Amino acid sequence: MPYNIEYHKDFIKFLKKHQDMQAKVFESFETIAQNPYEAKLDIKKLQGKANHYCLRISKYRFLYEVLENEILIYAYKADSRGDIYK
């Protein structure tokens, strides 16, 4: 059963500024919705946070949380590699 995907408003705002990334990001999150731990994508688990992951595409990072009990992927932050963890 695929997970639902919810995007934070700041995540959407970032994608509106980076039109060239939109298709790749949404395609990647559709893949993640099928399997949140997809090995074919460049995904790393965030240290110190349960169920939080980072999707890496080019020089950008996209943070999301897997909410197992709600069958939900919550994408909450997107930024360049140097600014994402601040």
Q: Report if residue 85 sits inside a domain.
A: no
Q: Report if residue 53 sits inside a domain.
A: yes
Which tens digit of pLDDT belongs to each residue from 26-74?
999 999 999 887 778 999 999 999 999 999 999 999 999 999 999 999 9
Number of domains in the chain: 1
Q: Is the pLDDT of residue 1 over 70?
A: yes
Structure tokens, 4: 């639902």
DSSP assignment of 16-85: HH-HHHHHHHHHHHHHHHH-TT-TTS-EEEPTTSTTEEEEEETTEEEEEEEEGGGTEEEEEEEEETTTTT
State the amino acid at position 74 in one-letter form: Y
**Predicted pLDDT of residue 86:** 66
Q: Which domain CATH number covers 47?
A: 3.30.2310.20
Structure tokens, 25: 């990001």
Q: Is the pLDDT of residue 84 over 90?
A: no
Task: Give the mean pLDDT of 12-17.
Answer: 96
Residues, the chain, total?
Answer: 86
